């Protein structure tokens, strides 16, 4: 019996579209989950979240490779006698970056919570927005001074190069659907995102720590009256959110070129993902990210590449008109 | 102290208070405000760009003075919404860029009359604000900020690619000086204004300055009418305003539309001034810039708005060029020697101007969230007034 060929090709294209969509969505998801839990539990608006993406990206670049930069960092390091040539970086490889970046950005998140967010918890939302916006501006300019303004990208690690069709098992599955040409790197991104978001989800939903955090989301005052200190869980939540953003930068680095300004550009879709999914809901952030990724990949696949950026904003507008609280949000926040 | 001297002192104090009160009352009068603005607008480019000593020290120039007024109008429009109604919009690039593009497309296809361009830009921005306001005002607080940001970004991406045939895409919309007709059909914008050329230079400046005076008059009238009082009531306590029986939603939408229209007017002026519209005028950084200017100038102060624009544009345009710190030429006559001190390479401020602005901005947000530069001036004025009144 011969299998019908045409439907198989369609199926292959569809699978590829879904994989491309999920990859794009993964970056949004990593950013949005962090934004969403920080916004949901701490009620803190972080416009500097995009800057954390940039921190992750540049840090990853320096740890994984030995790139050339145009900024002042090479000059300064040369003046100090720390490096000889024009290249800056450790060159430990991508896996090392994957371990170090989340840890460092987690610490950056802790510092941000202590010294930036905490003094502003009692100030109005608008002040929080202005403060974090200013902070994002400062970070962006610091990176421009250090690394220069030109676009950078992280090289794909050698073990993830090439087509996924060559992989054992996974390649067979893809070939079964008639998929032609999906890079291994995209699958790696999806895997990293799934694992990290899964861990955070389990942490929030099934541990005592998560219980405290969720209780604090519902009624912080009551939790504190019961004698449970919330300041430490809040600190950790902020750190986790920051670490996810840092990983987003590391993972997105090989996919999209970045420069110091890119943090602001990626922040807008990330925020929309949160708003569309529903604030404070991890599942919502994942759903929103997937929708955005698929819409974007779909528009590109079907010949509307020019509209691919516009598409997600239009979709966000529609969702908000129909369901202002977001797809999986359960409360109408004024 | 004897009784006589006390009486005497009190007499002097009341007399002074009477003068101060008259002055305070005069200051509030609309005609005085408009006339004062007109005077300031007339003197500003001279003081900034051409006056002896002062302009040397400032290193200002005519086109920067024009740019400051254009952005000043934009910030006034923005502040009507953020400062007075309490709605933090992060998407005002949509109206600035929208007004600029509307004016530019109109000039290229219909008529290059500057006044018609201004009207078209303003009306287009007002309509756009109506639609976007209708959508964004469904949610308040941070969601409003995010929604306005998102819609403005949507317009940016639309101008960048799908509508590139109209907007010129990545290259921006080139209008060209020749497309823009003379003012009223017979006054070229590049021509000097007779009699007061030294003061204001060209008719271009008169057009921009006229728009500034017009904007201040409109904004002052709106803000000091019962209508504007409601804006402030909404800022102070939206719920209470609702309970009093006001239709808060309609007032907020109206504030958004007025604010957007003024931003569109400024955008159209920008299009005329540059004779081209860069696509970045729709980008979120433009929205960010107007937020920064408004905060630096002082949130919720009509006259702080142009000051904020001035500080921002000054830091952005003059600081990067300063390698030599100019000394007053007069000093040279007293002490012969070099007139300028050249900064060493490490102290060259050029790469750091954005950083300087960021730090200034954050400092104001943290320490004077509602004050800004204008708040500082007001504090100073109050101190002086108290000194004059004699009660320390």
pLDDT greater than 50 at residue A28: yes
pLDDT of residue A239: 95
Contact residues on chain A for B91, CB-CB shorter than 8 A: none
- Over residues A276-311, the pLDDT tens digits come to 888 888 999 999 999 999 999 888 888 888 888 888
Q: Is A63 within 8 Å of A105 (Cβ atoms)?
A: no
Residues of B in contact with A75 (CB under 8 A): none
* pLDDT at position B329: 46
Residue B2 banded pLDDT, cuts 50, 70, 90: very low
Q: Dihedral of CA B150/B152/B158/B159: which sign? A: negative
Q: Do B285 and A142 touch (CB under 8 A)?
A: no
Confidence band (pLDDT; 50, 70, 90) for A172?
confident
Residues ≥6 apart with Cβ < 8 Å to B109: none
From chain A, the residues in CB contact with B239 under 8 A are none
Residue A192 near residue A212, CB atoms below 8 Å: no
Q: Does B184 touch chain A (CB under 8 A)?
A: no
Question: Cα(B27)–Cα(B302) distance, rounded to whole angstroms?
Answer: 14
In chain B, residues with a C-beta closer than 8 Å to the C-beta of A129 are 88, 90, 142, 145
Whether residues B88 and A333 touch (CB distance < 8 A) is answered with no
Residue among B221, B223, B199 at smallest CA distance from B209: B199
Beta strands per DSSP E along chain B: 173-174, 276-277, 324-326, 340-342
Partners of residue A128 in chain B, C-beta under 8 Å: 142
Exposed/middle/buried for A172, CB within 10 Å: 0-12, 13-18, 19+? exposed
The tokens 């609702």 sit on which residue? B242
Summarize the confidence of residues A37-42 as an average pLDDT.
86
pLDDT tens-digit readout, B300-351: 888 888 999 999 998 888 877 766 555 444 444 555 554 555 666 666 767 7
* Count of A-B CB contacts under 8 Å: 115
A127 and chain B in contact, CB less than 8 A: yes
Q: Across the interface, do B138 and A320 touch by the CB < 8 Å criterion?
A: yes
**Average pLDDT in the B287-309 region?**
89
Cα–Cα distance for residue pair A89/A74, rounded to 1 Å: 10
The residues near B42 (Cβ < 8 Å, ≥ 6 apart) are: B196, B199, B200, B209
Q: Which of A131, A135, A307 minimises the CB distance to B162? A: A307
Whether the Cβ atoms of residue B128 and residue B135 lie closer than 8 Å to each other: no
Give chain A positions within 8 Å (CB) of B362. Answer: 131, 134-135, 137-138
The ipTM assigned to this model is 0.84
Residue of A nearest to B358 (CA): A138
Task: Report the helix count and the strand count for chain A, using DSSP H and E.
Answer: 13, 0
- Predicted pLDDT at A331: 59
Q: What is the pLDDT of residues A205-263, one digit of tens each?
A: 899 998 988 888 888 888 888 888 888 888 999 999 999 999 999 999 888 899 988 98
Q: Which residue of B has its CA nearest to A146?
A: B351
HSE value, Cβ hemisphere, 13 Å, CA-based, for A197? 28
Tell whether B352 lies on the interface with A, counting CB pairs under 8 A: yes
**CA–CA separation, A62 vs A68, rounded Å?**
10
- Nearest-Cα distance to chain A for B168, in Å, is 14
Q: What DSSP string runs through B102-160? A: HHHHHHHHT---HHHHHHHHHHHHHHHHHHHHHHHTTS-HHHHHHHHHHHHHHHHHHHH
Closest residue in A to B291 (Cα) is A130
Kindly determine whether residue B142 and residue A45, on different chains, have CB atoms separated by under 8 Å. Answer: yes
What does the pLDDT average to over A168-195?
83
- CB contact (8 A) between residue A264 and residue B351: no
Express each pLDDT in B113-161 by its tens digit. 889 999 999 999 999 999 999 888 887 777 888 889 889 999 999 998 8
- Read off the pLDDT of each residue in A154-168 and give the average, rounded to a whole number: 80
Q: Distance between the two ends of chain B, CA-based, in angstroms?
A: 18
Asked if B88 and B160 count as a contact pair (C-beta separation under 8 A), the reply is: no
Tell me whether residues A126 and B88 touch, CB distance under 8 A. Answer: yes
pTM of the model: 0.86
Average pLDDT of the segment spanning B263-281: 92
Residue by residue, DSSP assigns B187-241 as B-TTSBPSS-HHHH-BHHHHHHHHHHHHHHHHHHHHHTSHHHHHHHHHHH-HHHH
Alpha carbon of residue A319 to chain centroid? 22
Q: Which of B143, B151, B366 sits opposite A275 (nearest CB)?
A: B143
Scan residues 136-165 of A and list those with Cβ closer than 8 Å to B: 137-138, 140-142, 144-145
Beta partners for A209? none
Sort A25 into a burial class: Cβ within 10 Å, 0-12 / 13-18 / 19+.
buried
User: Sorting pLDDT into bands at 50, 70 and 90, what band is B385?
Assistant: confident
Q: What mean pLDDT, rounded, does chain B reach?
A: 82
Nearest CA in chain A to B369: A127
Comparing CB atoms, the residue among A134, A144, A265 nearest residue B362 is: A134
Residues B265-293 have a mean pLDDT of 91
The answer on pLDDT for A86 being more than 70 is no
């Amino acid at each position: 019996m011969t299998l019908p060929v045409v439907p198989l090709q369609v199926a292959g294209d569809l699978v590829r579209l879904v994989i491309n969509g999920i990859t794009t969505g993964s970056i949004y998801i990593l950013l949005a989950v962090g934004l969403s839990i920080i916004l949901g539990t701490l009620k803190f608006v972080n416009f500097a979240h995009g800057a954390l993406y940039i921190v992750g990206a540049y840090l990853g670049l320096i740890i994984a490779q030995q790139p050339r930069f145009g900024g002042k960092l090479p000059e300064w390091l040369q003046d100090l006698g720390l490096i000889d040539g024009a290249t800056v970086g450790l060159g430990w490889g991508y896996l090392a970056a994957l371990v170090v970046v989340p840890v460092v950005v987690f610490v950056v998140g802790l510092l941000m919570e202590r010294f930036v967010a905490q003094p502003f918890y009692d100030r109005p939302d608008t002040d929080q927005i202005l403060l974090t916006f200013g902070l994002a501006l400062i970070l962006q300019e610091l990176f421009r001074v250090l690394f220069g303004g030109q676009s950078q990208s992280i090289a794909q690690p050698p073990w993830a190069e090439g087509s996924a069709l060559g992989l054992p098992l996974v390649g067979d599955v893809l070939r079964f659907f008639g998929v032609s040409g999906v890079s291994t790197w995209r699958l790696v991104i999806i895997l990293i995102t799934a694992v990290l978001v899964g861990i955070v989800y389990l942490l929030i939903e099934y541990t005592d720590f998560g219980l405290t955090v969720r209780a604090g989301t519902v009624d912080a005052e009551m939790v504190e009256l019961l004698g449970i200190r919330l300041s430490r869980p809040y600190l950790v939540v902020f750190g986790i959110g920051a670490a996810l953003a840092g990983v987003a930068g590391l993972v997105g680095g090989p996919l999209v070129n970045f420069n110091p300004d890119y943090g602001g550009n990626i922040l807008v879709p990330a925020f929309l993902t949160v708003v569309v999914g529903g604030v404070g809901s991890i599942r919502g952030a994942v759903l929103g990210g997937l929708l955005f990724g698929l819409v974007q990949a779909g528009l590109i696949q079907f010949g509307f590449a020019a509209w691919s950026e516009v598409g997600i904003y239009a979709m966000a507008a529609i969702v908000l008109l129909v369901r202002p609280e977001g797809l999986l949000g359960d409360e109408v926040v004024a | 102290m004897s009784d006589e001297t006390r009486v005497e002192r009190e007499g002097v104090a009341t007399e002074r208070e009477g003068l101060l009160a008259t002055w305070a009352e005069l200051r509030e009068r609309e005609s005085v405000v408009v006339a004062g603005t007109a005077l300031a607008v007339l003197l500003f480019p001279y003081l900034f760009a051409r006056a002896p000593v002062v302009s040397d020290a400032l290193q200002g120039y005519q086109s920067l003075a024009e740019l400051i007024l254009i952005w000043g109008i934009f910030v006034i429009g923005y502040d009507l919404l953020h400062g007075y109604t309490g709605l933090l919009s992060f998407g005002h690039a949509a109206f600035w860029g929208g007004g600029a593009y509307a004016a530019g497309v109109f000039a290229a296809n219909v008529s290059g009359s500057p006044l018609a361009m201004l009207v078209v830009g303003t009306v287009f921005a007002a309509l756009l604000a109506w639609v976007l306001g209708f959508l964004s005002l469904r949610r308040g607080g941070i969601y409003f900020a995010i929604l306005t940001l998102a819609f403005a970004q949507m317009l940016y991406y639309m101008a960048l690619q799908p509508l590139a045939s109209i907007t010129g895409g990545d290259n921006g919309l080139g209008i060209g000086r020749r497309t823009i007709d003379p003012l009223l059909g017979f006054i070229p914008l590049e021509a000097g204004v007779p009699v007061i050329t030294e003061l204001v230079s060209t008719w271009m400046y008169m057009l921009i300055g006229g728009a500034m005076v017009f904007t201040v008059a409109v904004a002052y009238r709106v803000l000091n009418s019962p209508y504007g009082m409601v804006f402030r009531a909404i800022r102070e306590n939206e719920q209470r305003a609702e309970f009093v029986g006001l239709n808060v939603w309609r007032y907020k939408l109206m504030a958004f539309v007025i604010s957007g229209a003024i931003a569109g007017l400024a955008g159209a002026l920008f299009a005329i001034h540059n004779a081209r519209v860069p696509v970045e005028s729709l980008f979120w950084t433009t929205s960010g810039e107007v937020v920064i200017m408004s905060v630096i100038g002082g949130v919720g102060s009509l006259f702080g708005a142009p000051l904020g624009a001035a500080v921002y544009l000054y830091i952005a345009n003059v600081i990067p060029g300063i390698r030599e710190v100019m000394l007053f030429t007069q000093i040279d006559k007293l002490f012969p020697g070099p007139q300028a001190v050249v900064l060493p390479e490490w102290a060259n401020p050029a790469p750091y101007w954005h950083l300087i602005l960021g730090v200034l901005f954050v400092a104001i947000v943290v320490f004077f969230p509602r004050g800004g530069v204008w708040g500082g001036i007001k504090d100073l004025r109050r101190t002086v007034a108290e000194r004059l009144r004699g009660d320390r």
